[in-house]
Amino acid sequence: MKLYKIKKSKIDNKGRGLYAAKDIKKGTKIINYSGKIVTNKQVDESNKYDNNKPIYLFTLNKRYTLDGDFSWNTAGLINHSCDPNSQYDGKGLKIWITAIKDIKKGEEFTCDYGFGFDKDYKQFPCKCRAKNCCGYIVREESRWRINKKFAMSKKKLVNNSR
């Protein structure tokens, strides 16, 4: 049985989210984060990645990035929260979502997107309604190996302006 259901999101009122289909224990692997493996060089050079749309890129290592921006990547529907119940986990070239709390049936899965703090953080307002919500999607702390595209797109803007 799948651990999740797709429904209209309570956080992103224009989009969908993933919800627990049953009670889930902390530490449970919920779903794989699937996508295409691209080289970091492709990310730096392709226009596809040079924009401000919601970000689905995970740097896997020095060479490769996982691009999860595909409609078949169901895990891409998981929304950001400042008080998340799940997190991105990875090994090798694989990424998946793990519960970091006990989650009740019917709760929406949320992760910390981990955007770095930046003067452009206002591009990404957060509507998670958690008590500790700062109003914007900014990571709480640096996370092992996972770097979102946000930092890279800044680098690119700097390059373009030369």
Q: Please report, as ranges, the residues that interact with Zn ion according to CB under 5 A.
A: 82, 126, 128, 133
Q: How far apart are CA 96 and CA 31, in angstroms?
A: 6
CA angle 77, 80, 83 (to 5 degrees): 135
Taking the least distance from each CB to Zn ion, the nearer of 74 and 81 is: 81
Taking the least distance from each CB to Zn ion, the nearer of 13 and 161 is: 13
Taking the least distance from each CB to Zn ion, the nearer of 21 and 133 is: 133
Q: How far apart are CA 26 and CA 131, in angstroms?
A: 21
Least distance in Å: CB of 84 to Zn ion?
9
Least distance in Å: CB of 80 to Zn ion?
7
Taking the least distance from each CB to Zn ion, the nearer of 66 and 128 is: 128
Least distance in Å: CB of 15 to Zn ion?
15
Least distance in Å: CB of 130 to Zn ion?
5
